Structure formats: C-alpha cells, structure tokens
Structure 1
Amino acid sequence: MINFYDHKTILITGAASGIGKRFAEKVAAIADVKLILWDRNPEDLREIRDQLQSLAEVHISGVDVTDREAIQFEADHYIKEQLVPNIIVNCAGIVVGKMFHEHSFSEIEKSVQINTIGSMWVARAFLHEMIDRGTGQIVNLASASGYIGNPRMSVYAASKWAVIGWSESLRLEMEKLKTGVGVTTVIPSYIKTGMFDGVKAPFLVPLLETDQIVDLMLQGIAKQKRTIRAPFLVKFVPLLKALLPYKLFDWVAGNLLGVYKSMDSFKGRKAKSKN
C-alpha cells in the first residue's frame, strides 16, 4: 500500500477537519507525497501545513467548493506548476439535520452545492489533464444515506444519492474511453467526525471512528476499488431494498434497526467561537 502512494500528488477538499484532515495526516505519515489541501477555513489549513510540513510537501488554498471561479483559478495555478493531482479526494460536506419543510432555500442550495456540485467542479477542473496523462484516481465521499432515505436527512440524502450516481457514471465513462482514470466511491454510515454529533447508531450499524474509515480508504484507493463501504451491513442495503416489499423494508429499517430514528437527537458540529 505504501508504495502506491509514494511520489503522488494528492488533492483533498474539506481538509481542515474530519475525514479530509485525518486522511492527509495518515497518508503523509506512510508515504512520500505532495499534498494539496483545500478548505474554506484557511486558518485551520495553516495549522495543518505547519503540522505536516516535516513529513510532506504541503500546499494549501482557502477554497470554498461552492465557488466555481475560485476552483478553476486554483486548478489553473497548480496545473501551471505541474502539480496535477494523481488522486483527488472529495471530502467537503455538510448536513443540516432538519425535516425538509424546515430547511431554508439557502440551506437546500448550500447542501447540494457543497456535497454534490462542488465535487463535480473540483474533478472537472483537473480531469482533462488527468486524461491526457493517462492516470489518476477520483475519490468521492458519498454516504449510506445515498442508499436509504431517512427523516431529517432528505436534502443530505439527495445530495449523496447524486454523488453515487455521478461517480458510477463517471467511472463507466472513464473505462469506456480507456482513459486510465479510476473512480472510487466511499459509502459509509455515520462517522464520529463531529458533523453527526448526537446521532444514535442504528442496531448492527455502529458509529465509525474516523481512523476506521480513513484506513479503509487508504487500502481501498490503493487497490483501486470501485466502492468502499462500511460498516459491514451497509453492503447489503441495496439488496434488501431490491428483495423486500417497501413496507417490510421500512419496518426493518425503522423498527428493527432504528435507522429512521437515528437523527432524532442530532446536534451536529458546533460552530467555532470567533473570540
């Protein structure tokens, strides 16, 4: 696995916290890499750069993935500097955690922009260069909610369903055109990153530690897997939905596993104090 990452340039969005940050820390510790870290919180990125600069060459940019012009500007800069990523890891994401009718229009727009469209824009900004080079890996963080609806997650689930559909279609396109560019879709259940503070783990679907999913990502990307799914039961959700009548599936998910009540006590990540 270590040899796979050596001498690769890796772009990570949402790199100031959660999965993005931990992925940067772990890959820098095991391989000789160049890291391009993007996040809308440049102060946090500077701290991470200072933390990792003894392990890796680190480039940071305060990029909001909802800003198409900023994405293209930064992409053009790195392309000019011959730093086209070998691996793009799209980790930027948000969750509102309300019933759909309680969402504001701006919350709906922002969720889809960050969780779905932002990942598309980041991949698109570098894709021509990756195709011309004949190698690359695009890694998109989806969610088990892209398989199954859930109260208080309607917009989040919609955005992650879109990520799964886009990732699958993009993978097929790249294979059909024989570009050498692969696509990996990461499909986890709830993760203890702070973004889902307060959720109640469904029965047989334990909350994942950040290190657990990052380790699976490091292994799966190195093996160029199409999908990385965790915990184990997530792998069976599409099959269960296909086999069971919808009322029975809802009973199993809602009453037996408790999935539909998992967001009832949701709090989410606390905003940082500006003091």
Structure 2
Amino acid sequence: MKQIKGKTALITGGASGIGKIMVRLLLERGAKVIIWDINNSKIHETILEFANKGDLVGHVVDVSDINQIKETAKKVIQETGTVDILINNAGIVAGKFFHEHTTKDIVKTMEINANAPMFITREFLEGMLDQNSGHICNIASSGGLISNPKMSVYAASKWSLIGWSDSLRLEMKQLKKSIHVTTIMPYYINTGMFDGVQSKIPILDPEAASLTIIKAIENNKRMVTIPGYIYRLTRIGQGFMSLNMFDWFAGTVLGIYKTMEHFTGHKK
C-alpha cells in the first residue's frame, strides 16, 4: 500500500493504545479511518480528539462476537464501500500460569486474538479481491515466536495468528492478487496492557512502534518484528541451539522467561 492518501482504513481496537496512535497517523496521511472498538466512550473521545484531522467514524463492536462482526461489516460496506486497509489490532492477555486460566479466559483470548482477525478479514477480503487491491495488517506478537511462562494461552493465540496471516500472504501471491499482507510481531509495548512486566530488552515506545507499523504498510513489508533483532535472536537461536541451551539463552541471558513474574496488566 504505497499510497495511503484517499484510502479507507479500518482498525480494530482503534480507540486506545497503539490503535489510537495508528488512527492519528493514518488520518495525517489522508486516509478515511473507521474505528472498531468495544469501548463506546473511548470511541467518542478519539473522534472528538481527532475531529480536525480528517474523516473518522467509529463503531462499537465486540470482535469476539461473530454476529456483531458480520452485522457491522455489512453496515461499513453499505455506508463506505470497500475497505482498502484492514488493521487487525484488537487483543487481550490473561497473564497467568495455564492451570490458573478459566475456560472463559482461554475461549475469550482465542476468540479475540486468533479467530476475530480471520472472521473480520473474511468479511472485507471479497471487496479487496474484486478491486484487486488492498492491504491486511495483523498485529501479532513476539510471543508468537517464543514460548513464555504465564503467556501460554496468549502465545497460542499469537502463534495461530502468525501462521494464518503469513499463509494468507502466500495465498494472495499464488492467486496473483495485488493484496498485501503484513504480519507484525512486536515485543512488549508500553500501553498499559502489559503493566508490571520487567524486561532486560527495552519495552517499546507506543509512538515509535505505531509509526513502524504504518511504515511497514506503506512499504508492503511482509513480516516485521519490533525491534528487528527479535526475529534473528529467536529463529537463529532455535535453529542452532539445543533446547536446553536455548532455554538458558532466552531465560537467563535475555531474561524473557521471567518478564511476566510481576505482571498486573491494565488497571481496572
């Protein structure tokens, strides 16, 4: 998606965190932006805050509800037409040991982080295929590259998202369609979602991370880790080290396996 100006972009989870920042960055680049978010008051706050920046509308959607996805997607297509840029950004985390998860924790995490991007993309992909253009950006996580205690269900959802997202990219390539797919795998971002995390690797600045994502869309990047060296550290380490050695490297040298020990998450 070399040219964002004049395009229609939809961002899930667009009323807070990096979603909200990406809304602003897209508006500044001349896109019409549609927010999907579960929080109605935050949607209104975001629309008021960015009222002078461009064309922005919002819809209250619980992306764990397939019926809401279908109904709202139909409304968007009727009112706006084809979505040119889709950013599947909404996500949740329950930072617990696996045996502490409730059934609801597991189901909800998979519904929002893994299933929703597929269901939402399915609703808008037909329009992209018809016009033979579009860009789908899926916000996964570096947690989809490496196992981590107290992130088992979250990691499962993000591993799933990465596998589907890059498979979709290959399908568009095989079909010779000008529809680009970008898979983003950021480290922890300082948005409140991972409050309490302690890390030897620097926690990401939301503004810088958001700009990296938008630039990845502009430049049709396929797979992007933030920071870039995370991919090399994990993939090369997993490829050349024994499991015991990699556990030592990731757990002791990088300190990744202890990052969630003091996790609190968003304050209620």
TM-score interval w.r.t. the shorter chain?
Answer: over 0.9
Which residue number in structure 1 is paired with residue 23 of structure 2? 24
**Counterpart code for 1:264:** E
- Aligned counterparts, 1:218-237, within 5 A: 218-236=214-232, 237=234
Query: Who is 1:11 aligned against?
Result: 10
Q: Which residue of 2 aligns with 1:71?
A: 69
Aligned to 1:269: 266
What CA distance in whole angstroms lies between the structure 1 residues aligned with 2:248 and 2:30? 49
Alignment match, 1:131: 129
**1:102 aligned residue:** 100
TM superposition shift of 1:255:
1.0
Measure how far apart 1:166 and its partner are. Answer: 0.3
Describe how 1:146-161 pairs up with structure 2 within 5 A. 146-161=144-159
Q: Percent identity?
A: 42
- The residue identity in structure 1 corresponding to 2:87 is V
Corresponding residue number in structure 2 for 1:62: 60
The CA distance in 2 between the partners of 1:229 and 1:251, in whole Å, is 22
Q: Secondary structure at the match of 2:19?
A: helix
Offset of residue 36 of structure 1:
0.6
Q: String of CA shifts for 1:14-55, please: whole Å, max 9, x gaps.
A: 0111111110012212x2211110000111101111111221
Deviation at 1:193, TM superposition (A): 0.7
TM-score normalized by the length of structure 1: 0.95
In 1: Cα distance, 2:12 partner to 2:81 partner: 15
Aligned pairs (5 A) from 1:115-194: 115-194=113-192
Mapped contact 1:206–1:231 kept (Cα < 8 A)? no
- Which residue, out of 78, 89, 92, partners 1:91? 89
Deviation at 1:233, TM superposition (A): 2.7
TM-score, with structure 2 as normaliser: 0.97
Alignment-mate amino acid for residue 260 of structure 2 = M
Aligned partner of 1:212 among 193, 203, 208: 208
Which ranges of structure 1 fall in alignment gaps of 5 or more residues? none
- Are the equivalent residues in 1 in contact too, given 2:144–2:155 (CA < 8 A)? yes
Residue pairs, 1:29-68, within 5 angstroms: 29=28, 31-68=29-66
Q: Give the AA of the match of 1:174.
A: M
Following the alignment from structure 2 to structure 1, what is the Cα–Cα distance between the partners of residues 80 and 35?
16
> Which of 238, 244, 253 is the equivalent residue of 1:241?
238
Measure, in 1, the Cα distance between the counterparts of 2:131 and 2:202.
41
**CA distance 1:188–1:134, change in 2 (3 Å):** same
Residue 195 of structure 2 aligns to a residue in which SS? coil
Aligned mates of 2:26, 2:76 — CA distance in 1: 20
* Structure 1 Cα separation of the partners of residues 3 and 202 of structure 2: 30
d(CA) in 1 for partners of 2:116 and 2:129?
Answer: 20
**Contact 2:37 2:60 (8 Å CA) reproduced:** yes
Q: Note the residue ranges of structure 2 that are not aligned, 5 or more in a row.
A: none
Partner of 1:255: 252
> Which one-letter code corresponds to 1:245 in the other structure?
S
Query: After TM superposition, what 4+ stretches of structure 1 lie above 4 angstroms from structure 2?
Result: none
Residue identity matched to 2:99: H
Distance in 1 (alpha carbons) for counterparts of 2:47 and 2:33: 9
